[in-house]
Each structure stands twice: as C-alpha cells, then as structure tokens.
Structure 1
Amino acid sequence: MINGLYEAHLPVENLEISIKFYQSLGLKFAWRDEETAFFWLEEGKSWLGLWEGMEYQTTYHPSLRHIAFRVSYEDLKKSIEWLESLEIKAVPFGSRTSVEPFIRPHQGNASVYFRDPDGNSLELMSYIDVPDQLKHISEKLSFEEWEKLLINSQNR
C-alpha cells in the first residue's frame, strides 16, 4: 500500500531566507504562495514544504522539526567539506561532541547533522551494508573506526 514519502514540512520564520538556504543545498524549487514554498526531494515523488509563521518558535524535538535527506555513502564522507563550502556548520548529534559523520551499525545507516536558519534539524543520511557479525554494535562509530571493523571482519 505505502510506496514512499510524499511530503514533509518544516516551520520557518522568513520564507525568502529559507528558499535561498534550501536552494543552496541543491533542492529544486517546485512552487510557492504567500506563506508556503515547496522543494522537490525526488522530483515527481516527494517534496519538502516550508511554512512561514510563528510555529518556527516551537521548541525543537525530532518528531516536530527534523528531516533526513538520503545521500550516498561516498557523498556522506565528503559532507563536512560540502557543508563548509556552503558556509553551513555541522552540529553534534545528541551527546556527541564531534560534528563528523558517524555510523550506526545496528541501524544500518550513517549520518551527519546541521541546522537551517530557523534551527530545524537537518540530517544527511546514508544506508550502509552491515555484515551480520557487526549488526549487534549499537555504539556510534567514526568512519575510520567503521572501515577498520569492516576490514577486520572481511579478513576472518
């Protein structure tokens, strides 16, 4: 029945500033009206709606103000440099102090986090193949730690 995500929404204070920000990320502008703007995430499949209004003041919680964009593993490796080229700072996730991308082996994904001009949490996220013998690892690993583990698991 469900084939994918059609749309997601974020609150913003100023639509003009937000439109420029999301265009800088490479999202394709779809349309806008007085208080909303939409960008294609996957053209013809899914989009992100930005809604101008006081709701941008809502206290952050991942269930309310968070979007994860799917990227390739190789692109995620270069994400910090890419964000810096756009003058965007990556931010640590949760209790982590590092802003570097990290791997969650037990979930089969890797991430890096940053924020839009309104403090909405944005994430670049990649699926990763996890060998069965590593799927039990629930700690967050750096790319370096992960790639060493992969090499060691392949040499067994």
Structure 2
Amino acid sequence: MELGAFSISLTVHDIQASQAFYKKLGFEVIGGDPEQNWLILKNGNSTIGLFQGMFDKNILTFNPGWDQNGKDTDSFSDVRELQKRLKKEGVPLLSETDETEVGPGSITLEDPDGNSILIDQHR
C-alpha cells in the first residue's frame, strides 16, 4: 500500500516561536502562510507542518501522489483505492472521501493508541 509522502502535522501554540525553534534545528520554510497560521518546514527528507489553532492534536500525514519534496509522482495509489482497501481490512475510518469523485480527497483514521492519521491527496 503506497501512502505517498510522509510528514507530521504539529499543533502549535505560537507559530512564530515554533518556526524559530525548528529553524535552529535546520528546518527551512518551504510553504504555507504564517498570516493564516500554518507553515511547512523541511530539513533533508524530514517534513513538518506547523498549524496554530487548526486542530487539537498532532497528526501523521501521508500525501498520495507526492514525493518527499512535494512533487507529483508518475504513479500512485489514489486515496479512494486506499479507502477501499482499509475498509476491506476492517480499519474504522473517522472520515471518508466520496468514491465517485476523482482528484483531491482525504480520509482520517486513528491507530490503536489514538494517534490521528490523515491521508490527504491534493491531486
């Protein structure tokens, strides 16, 4: 099951303070908008999203169709295919995408310890 690019989405209290902290660890801003309270940072193959006031807890994020640099991949498992496979495996989904549509879509689930997982396809 190909899930795509991986990142962790961190819920932060002060996006400027968090950006300054991760900059000291070698992360650079590659996307986002601090005025909208979100930034995407990268250090090598590691990607972190900083989100202020958007959700309650940290989220493991996968992006089908993207590589670790946010570039389109030639082939990928569509989020609808992943949704069908997960449902067939008996994995409960917290949110689903419309299987009749094409293009962007997302699903959410939790692991057995309550960690949130977002599979978010942008293309």
Q: TM-score, with normalisation over the residues of structure 2?
A: 0.37
Greater helix percent: which structure?
Answer: 1
Say which one has the larger Rg. 1
Q: TM-score, with normalisation over the residues of structure 1?
A: 0.30
Higher relative contact order (CA 8 A, sep 6+): 2
